[in-house]
Amino acid sequence: MPCSPVIELEQISKAFETTRALERVDLRVEPGQTTVLIGPSGCGKSTLLRVLVGLIEPDGGTATFEGSAITPRSVHALRRRMGYVIQEGGLFPHLTATENVVLMARELGWPEPKWRSRLGALAELTRLPTDALDRYPVELSGGQRQRVSLMRALMLDPDVLLMDEPLGALDSMIRFELQVELRAIFRRLGKTVLLVTHDLDEAGFFGDVIVLLRKGRIEQRGTLEELVHDPRNEFVRAFVNAQRSALAPLREKSR
């Protein structure tokens, strides 16, 4: 019997004044998979994530999380079951790394031994040096800030991770290192992940399913191989050809 999707969007639409950000989008995010949203700037991929976490209310359509409708009334409770990571981490600058990570756990009344144990486990999982936990974000490297942001997202052991360009601001060497570590973490934890990127190479590295958007609509969904070898239309073909580095993994597989 097929599993129910963790996230399901049906006919989701959103406009900002005269700009149509999302146009009747249908999307299913299956449990245990990494689904990657990709497309040119302004295609609606980040807007979709913000709809899911309740930062934006759609103009039409329905969104459900594990069968529960995401509404202004329900979204605050549902957020505790979602980990949200944004570009450059989004850490509070006046809090230390530890204070950023455990903020929600302390708000929910976790006893100190419980949150400290979870903090230590996450620092080990993300390979964050323990001496970084007492530093403020400005004192951390870009890679360390992203590790702290991931720890914060994982603190409450959420059912799903929503990640909006989490590695976009990092230099190429640190970005590659974190790509490898993140994929290992996803596989180890078995988390359902919905990740936004602008880079097709990164999408292919992470994604079980890649969803390519343009002007608020889904143009094609499938594996990297399907987008490369069986593009649905000329836009998909042009988008793939513009990012030729994404073909490298396919060449490696064919050797």
Residue 114 lies in a domain: no
Residue 111 lies in a domain: no
* Range of lowest pLDDT (54-63, 82-91, 181-190): 82-91
Quick: pLDDT tens for 15-46.
Answer: 998 889 999 999 999 999 999 999 998 899 99
Dist. CA 98–CA 144, nearest whole Å: 12
What CATH number is associated with residue 51? 3.40.50.300
**Domain of 231, in residue numbers:** 1-81+188-255
Residue 138 lies in a domain: no
Residue 255 lies in a domain: yes
Per DSSP, what are the bridge partners of residue 16? 19
Cα first-last separation, the chain: 37
Residue 122 lies in a domain: no
> pTM for this structure?
0.89
Q: Specify the residue for token string 């069968």.
A: 67
Quick: pLDDT tens for 207-226.
Answer: 999 999 999 999 999 999 99
Quick: pLDDT tens for 131-142.
Answer: 999 999 999 998
Residue 10 lies in a domain: yes
Q: Which residue has the higher pLDDT, 255 or 238?
A: 238
Dist. CA 178–CA 182, nearest whole Å: 6
Residue 36 lies in a domain: yes
SS in 3 state form for the chain? CCCCCCEEEEEEEEEECCEEEEEEEEEEECCCCEEEEECCCCCCHHHHHHHHCCCCCCCEEEEEECCEECCCCCHHHHHCCEEEEECCCCCCCCCCHHHHHHHHHHHCCCCHHHHHHHHHHHHHHHCCCHHHCCCCHHHCCHHHHHHHHHHHHHCCCCCEEEEECCCCCCCHHHHHHHHHHHHHHHHHHCCEEEEECCCHHHHHHHCCEEEEEECCEEEEEECHHHHHHCCCCHHHHHHHHCCHHHHHHHHHHHC
